[in-house]
Structure 1
Amino acid sequence: MARIGVDVGGTNTDLILETTELDSIGRKIFSHKVPTTVEDQSLAVMRGIMELCAKAKIGFDEIKQIVHGTTVATNISIEHNGANVGMLTTKGFRDILHIGRHKRPFNFSLHFDVPWQSAPLVRRRNRIAINERVLPPHGEIQTPLDDEEVRNAALTLKARGVEAVIIGFMYSFLERSHELRAKAIVQAVMPQAFVCCSSEVVDVMREYERFSTTAMNAYVGPRTSSYLTHLSTQLRDNGIHADLRIMQSNGGVATVESCCDRPVNILMSGPAGGVMGGHYFAGLDGERNIITVDIGGTSADISTLVDGQIKIMNPRDSYVSGHPVLVPMIDLITIGAGGGSVAFIDAAGGFQVGPRSAGSNPGPACYNRGGVEPTVTDANIVLGRLDPDQMLGGDLQVDPQLSYKAIEEKIAKPLGMDVHQAALGILKIVNNNMALAIRSNSVAKGIDPRDFVLMPFGGAGPVHGPALADEVNAKSVLIPPAPGITAAAGLLTTDLQYEALRSLLCNLNDISELNMARIEQALQGLETDIRKQLENDGVSAADMQLTRIAECRYDGQGFELRSRIPAGAVDRAAIAEVMAQFHREHQKDYGYCFDDATVEVVSLRVIGHSQSQKLAWSALPEAQDSDTGDAFLYERTTIFDDGQSLSTPRYDRNKLQAGQYIEGPAMLMQHDSTSLVPPGWVAKVSAHGNLIISRS
């Protein structure tokens, strides 16, 4: 049998296939890349799967599982081309989505954009107020729902061509019956519409964030669910009956059905795979403090892992395309910096790189597909850091003269510099942009990069690694064995995972027996929901692993931190452990805590997962000596950051063995990427094939 990981990027779609001992060809790993088809990602996915199976010489019937990381939902939110959404909400709260939190993106600017107003997920005319009222704190119904009013509102939205409808009532997290009843009525009137309730998507207090998250779910819902359903159908039509799993923003995978219901959970599906892959490969050699930098053709995704732990973003920071989204996401930053990032001179005469990308079509100028603008890839070609006849092992034909011409005409001549200076400038700018993002995800959060290993991957990552490490003072660079497919490989290291959430507000310091019973009851309800989801996916009770979380804050704080709830009964000892854990988390995140302050629990979360088979990456044979002559390919001139032009040897990375080292200047070549070792640096091959580059 075989498993396939498919990661869709802005430029390329990366694939990895792992076979097992029971397979027709024995245990092996194969990788492949195809250009991403932006108009329909499934075209590249299907092409890649078919070509990869042909490469591995296995039949479609031998594929057991496909794990897919997709940017469909992300792209919809960024490009503002989602569904026409309608909303039913409690009378008097129609404009919550417009008002927001009155946060100013730029405090002292008179001209700034407020995304939730300039690009609303639900236009005001499609937000219809309904007479209903649930009262806090226990959810008593004051004003019953008027079914006829809901039916008329649904008819109005249907007449306006609305494709998706959200139901968001005040205090539905205390009593959800009104939302569920309204949903049933809307579905009866609009059977083709995508309909969801806030209590089903994110069952917590804070009406603005709850409504915004639900609106985003509906905004990306129709197209995302259509894509996932279409891909499932294409697989079956081509005789591939593998289980299809989708990467979620939290680092776990879920079924297609679950992601069709809650596509908001896969908004960061693509970048999450890279973090999981970085975590896996670093862990093979015992590296626990790493900064992952996934540099593809369009963007760079950056995440910091402390002590081997993948951090989930604080809810207050969870924004997608300017809209708050209260779903668990891996803590990462994405910026427009990649191999396809376009260099240009702006209206003020400034030298800029990105965030606009040439993508896969037309791509960098050297691709000879009609692109005439210089990109980061073109700069690396001109400086000899990428060999034009070795791109994708020679499979990608490029023209270095087109790179030279684009940089000369668009950058060098207008700025009065030579082409090599302009190319170095392009790399200096894009590296500085990435370094700023790395610092914001590390230094700005109290993390010292000097204690961390920088881990660049993606097709464009390894050639930028040492320069980025210098910029942020990382202690060394670690490049995984297959940099170009690390995100795809990460998909085969994930577990099936679901989360359930419910608001429950109470003081923990002097908690009453009644409130402990409420917490116990709520946790049991959440556990039942999670067990049902896992059971529906064929997971046995013995294979289910549940984690209970209390999301806590100090009295008066605005947002929460996670604290684990011990297994067993919720008694005073368990509550004391929750509070102690919260203090420790606060100390870790903010550098201080208040041991004697009042702690509140705001919501409860249960995370259920079932461990899956992990990618088995074999260790390299130990080198018998330090002679790397067998790996030597040829020498070519390469220009480095200090302007030196040096004859630089090229080595075949696949022929290097564990324990061998290469002194810079050198370039290590492989099919999916090129690793740069500058003068004064040395690269050593680890036991599992990771490349560790540090100053000699």
Structure 2
Amino acid sequence: MKRVSVDIGGTFTDCFVVWDNQYIEGKALTTHHNLALGFNDSLGDACRQLKLEPATLLSEVDSVRYSTTLGTNALIERKGPRVGLLVTTGFKSTIPLSRARGYGEGLPESAQMDIPNASRPQPIVPIPMIREVRERVDYLGKVFWDLDEDDVRLRIRELVDAGAEALVVMFTNSVVNPAHELRVREIFLEEYPAHLLGAIPMLLSHQVAGRKGEYARGTSTIMDAFLHQIMYHGLGTLELNLRAQGYTKPMLVSHNSGGMAQLNSTDALQTVHSGPVSGIAASEHLAAVAQLGNVVATDMGGTSFDIGIVDQGGVKHYDFNPVIDRWLVSIPMVHLVTLGAGGGSIARYDRLFGSVEIGPQSAGSDPGPACYDRGGLKPTVTDADLLLGYLDPKNYAGGRIPLNARRARQAVEDQLCDELDMDVVACAKLIKRNVDASMANGIATELRTRGYEPRDFTILAYGGNGPLHACGIANALGVSRILAPPYSSTFSACGAGNVNQMHIHEMSTWTVLFDANAKTFFSDYDSFNAHVEELERRGREDLTRQGMNAADVRYRLELDMRYGNQRVQTAVVTPLLRLKSQKDVLALMDQFHQSYGARFGEGSQSPETGVRINTLRVCAYVEQPKVTFAPLTLTDKTLPPPAPVGQRECHFVSRDKPLATPIYDEQALAEGTRIAGPAIVVTRATTYLVEPDWTYQAAAQGGVWFFKQ
């Protein structure tokens, strides 16, 4: 197997190369103005280790796979085209009203509660760019009001004249009967052929999101249209860069659903958060191979801290109506919580509490932290780590990024010391304490709101800064076991290469498995099976269009189910791809009963109110070869520490005075090596900080365990 996997983050571009039996990590700063330059630097770093030319490597690999935060950054910066929206007459206010909750979605709970100061986000589609079209389809798909084609031509012309660079069509109940949306696109092409408007896209809501719910379906399609241009040009530039270096195969892109697809089969919205989701996919694979039990996956990079849950029972945590940026959307996405707490997160004085607040603003890769000596003037977490003695100024990122401690000291002095009336080291310790506590609180909140206890989980600490802050996070959380996985610095890039080619298709349905009023069970098996077969067909066509063999396609059926008219839905993954008898119906109801009880407490089920299926969802996928992880079980035989390569005085939050701390190099990664803290292990890709009262023990393949003494 020969494969290149790339994770383009806000600060670093990580590259993970599989070259037969060799696994190579590459790393470089992200070049936001042209992502291809950062990719070339990262790939070049890996190629130097393999002693190969990049063109030679790219001509021989099986695939190149990207995950990127390009879409996330575009939303934050509001960089995108002017979008026009066509809606059913009478529904012009659906998007602006945002279910009366738009002021709070995407904000922390404290901000959601502050209603007097609430403000809605800047709209992607302003009200003057919304037009109503005379048409109507009822909830069963019956045409109630024929499409007025002359009205359609007029409204499209108005939006084009108003400067629309992308058009969205969102008609009521189009997921049941899409005929009117499809006809609008035909009219658009009749009025404005491609040679007149070039590449202006028109997106139809039923093709982006297959579930009912006009608001979430509308925002999904609007965001897809808004991101289309920048994703097309950004990823298109990456593909052209590959072509120029001799790579001739299709480029693959990771999706936030936990799968991947070719670029020409990827919607822009599917790429948002795809990098962190790739890390969770790698965590799932590692947890299964190494039998880690319950795992909380934590990715601390340069810009953010991402949290995901891997349940030993195999329960996948999806968001079927996730909030992306400030908008509720209707696409399945692996559940993820993101905090603004990375190595580049900026520390600033909080006048209200007289302390230091960390993030969410980040120094990114340009100019980066003050210690990068690239023009950054504000103190960051990385500056604090340097001042506390954890980082080697001459050997950071394998020596590729020299650090300037004087710049870091000056940034902390100018911004924090006078305000806090503390010296530089005390300020740096406060930054370290606060950022670790913030990440620990994020983990605890995420686990406990889902009914888990943090002590029952192993922290999987990866990303460029994960092993550096893992002990501090665990101290604040009360957890005594941490695993820094193999290839921890580029773990998300490794995960991008481990996911399957996959497509998810879904549709809304009104399937009553048990009618509480009539006391009858569902019996229209042919109709149910026909819907599942249609979703399977769409997924199969997606994959065969990308060169997959139809015989290799596998399917997973997921159902959103609920009791009676409850609003709460529970996703059930069923092994039954078809319903053939009442026995199958009862088995499905029993599975839902068990899932509901596990989530909300045994005895909370209420089958007497009826059981309904609201959504059918089929995941079509083709299994791909995976990176092989060695078992990470610890042996009884331990090795003494190698000879230290140096020593520094380091400052720790739990100690008043600095401690003489031995420094080890990559020899400390030899399996079985055991080191009592405090200690620092510096490798080419990352830095492992063993805080006082912690023990470091190396496992196979470069994995590292931390245990509380």
- Describe the shift of the 1:508–1:629 C-alpha distance in structure 2 as closer, same or farther (beyond 3 A): closer
What does 1:620-659 align with in structure 2 at a 5 Å threshold?
626-630=638-642, 632-643=644-655, 644-659=657-672
Q: Which residue of 2 aligns with 1:12?
A: 12
Query: Whole-Å Cα distance in 1 between the matches of residues 313 and 274 of structure 2?
Result: 21
Q: Which residue of 1 aligns with 2:584?
A: 574
User: How many positions carry a matched residue from both structures?
Assistant: 683
Q: Secondary structure at the match of 1:679?
A: coil
Q: Which residue of 1 aligns with 2:295?
A: 290
Q: Give the partner amino acid of 1:335.
A: L
Query: Whole-Å Cα distance in 2 between the matches of residues 211 and 624 of structure 1?
Result: 58
Shift of 1:30: 1.3
Q: Secondary structure at the match of 2:466?
A: coil
What does 1:494-573 align with in structure 2 at a 5 Å threshold?
494-510=499-515, 515-565=524-574, 566-573=576-583
Query: Whole-Å Cα distance in 1 between the matches of residues 577 and 320 of structure 2?
Result: 25
Query: Whole-Å Cα distance in 2 between the matches of residues 85 and 218 of structure 1?
Result: 7
Shift of 1:501: 0.6
Q: Which residue of 1 aligns with 2:74?
A: 76
Contact persistence 1:564–1:578 (CA under 8 A): no
- Describe the shift of the 1:625–1:559 C-alpha distance in structure 2 as closer, same or farther (beyond 3 A): closer
Unaligned runs of 5+ in 2: 105-111
Q: Give the partner amino acid of 1:611.
A: E
Query: Whole-Å Cα distance in 1 between the matches of residues 360 and 164 of structure 2?
Result: 33
TM-score, normalised via structure 1 length: 0.94
Matched, 1:344 2:348: yes
Shift of 1:425: 0.3
Shift of 1:559: 4.1
Structure 1 residue aligned with 2:614, among 597, 602, 605? 602
- Describe the shift of the 1:31–1:502 C-alpha distance in structure 2 as closer, same or farther (beyond 3 A): same
Shift of 1:291: 1.0
Shift of 1:57: 3.2
Q: Which deviates more, 577-586 or 298-307?
A: 577-586
Query: Whole-Å Cα distance in 2 between the matches of residues 656 and 233 of structure 1?
Result: 39
Q: Which residue of 2 aligns with 1:112?
A: 118
What does 1:317-328 align with in structure 2 at a 5 Å threshold?
318-328=322-332
Q: Secondary structure at the match of 1:508?
A: strand
What does 1:268-279 align with in structure 2 at a 5 Å threshold?
268-279=273-284
Matched, 1:680 2:680: no
Matched, 1:210 2:217: yes
Contact persistence 1:273–1:491 (CA under 8 A): yes
Q: Secondary structure at the match of 1:551?
A: strand
Matched, 1:134 2:137: yes
Q: Secondary structure at the match of 1:502?
A: strand
Matched, 1:63 2:61: yes
Q: Give the partner amino acid of 2:459.
A: L
Query: Whole-Å Cα distance in 2 between the matches of residues 634 and 266 of structure 1?
Result: 43
Structure 2 residue aligned with 1:362, among 354, 358, 367? 367
Query: Whole-Å Cα distance in 1 between the matches of residues 19 and 513 of structure 2?
Result: 50
- Describe the shift of the 1:547–1:283 C-alpha distance in structure 2 as closer, same or farther (beyond 3 A): closer
Q: Which residue of 1 aligns with 2:108?
A: none
TM-score, normalised via structure 2 length: 0.92
Structure 2 residue aligned with 1:93, among 91, 94, 104? 91
Contact persistence 1:504–1:519 (CA under 8 A): no
What does 1:49-60 align with in structure 2 at a 5 Å threshold?
49-58=43-52, 59=56, 60=58
Q: Which residue of 2 aligns with 1:254?
A: 261
- Describe the shift of the 1:522–1:623 C-alpha distance in structure 2 as closer, same or farther (beyond 3 A): closer
Q: Secondary structure at the match of 1:388?
A: coil
Query: Whole-Å Cα distance in 2 between the matches of residues 292 and 600 of structure 1?
Result: 34
Q: Which residue of 1 aligns with 2:27?
A: 33
Query: Whole-Å Cα distance in 2 between the matches of residues 304 and 409 of structure 1?
Result: 40
Query: Whole-Å Cα distance in 2 between the matches of residues 310 and 233 of structure 1?
Result: 39
Contact persistence 1:667–1:675 (CA under 8 A): yes
Q: Secondary structure at the match of 1:632?
A: coil
What does 1:398-547 align with in structure 2 at a 5 Å threshold?
398-510=403-515, 515-547=524-556
Q: Which residue of 2 aligns with 1:587?
A: 597
Q: Give the partner amino acid of 1:167.
A: V
Shift of 1:579: 1.7
- Describe the shift of the 1:187–1:475 C-alpha distance in structure 2 as closer, same or farther (beyond 3 A): farther
Q: Secondary structure at the match of 1:217?
A: helix
Query: Whole-Å Cα distance in 2 between the matches of residues 374 and 308 of structure 1?
Result: 42
Structure 1 residue aligned with 2:311, among 303, 306, 311? 306
Unaligned runs of 5+ in 1: 21-26
Q: Which deviates more, 621-630 or 597-606?
A: 621-630
Query: Whole-Å Cα distance in 2 between the matches of residues 513 and 307 of structure 1?
Result: 33
Q: Secondary structure at the match of 1:558?
A: coil
- Describe the shift of the 1:221–1:247 C-alpha distance in structure 2 as closer, same or farther (beyond 3 A): same
Contact persistence 2:641–2:668 (CA under 8 A): no
Q: Which residue of 2 aligns with 1:125?
A: 128
Q: Which residue of 1 aligns with 2:169?
A: 167
Contact persistence 2:639–2:672 (CA under 8 A): no
Q: Which residue of 1 aligns with 2:109?
A: none
Structure 1 residue aligned with 2:271, among 266, 282, 288? 266
Q: Give the partner amino acid of 2:9.
A: G
Q: Which residue of 1 aligns with 2:684?
A: 671
Shift of 1:285: 2.4
Contact persistence 1:86–1:166 (CA under 8 A): yes
- Describe the shift of the 1:544–1:599 C-alpha distance in structure 2 as closer, same or farther (beyond 3 A): same
Shift of 1:626: 3.7
Shift of 1:287: 0.6
Q: Which residue of 1 aligns with 2:185?
A: 183
Cα-to-partner distance string for 1:294-321 (whole Å, 9 max, x where unaligned): 01111111112111636333334x1011
Shift of 1:512: 5.8
Q: Once superposed, what is the RMSD of the aligned Cα atoms?
A: 2.1
Matched, 1:244 2:251: yes
Shift of 1:159: 1.5
Query: Whole-Å Cα distance in 1 between the matches of residues 534 and 172 of structure 2?
Result: 22
Structure 1 residue aligned with 2:624, among 608, 612, 619? 612
- Describe the shift of the 1:688–1:281 C-alpha distance in structure 2 as closer, same or farther (beyond 3 A): farther
Q: Which residue of 2 aligns with 1:23?
A: none
Shift of 1:11: 0.6
Q: Which deviates more, 445-454 or 338-347?
A: 338-347
Q: Give the partner amino acid of 1:139.
A: G
Query: Whole-Å Cα distance in 1 between the matches of residues 473 and 634 of structure 2?
Result: 30
Contact persistence 1:85–1:219 (CA under 8 A): yes
Q: Give the partner amino acid of 1:131.
A: R
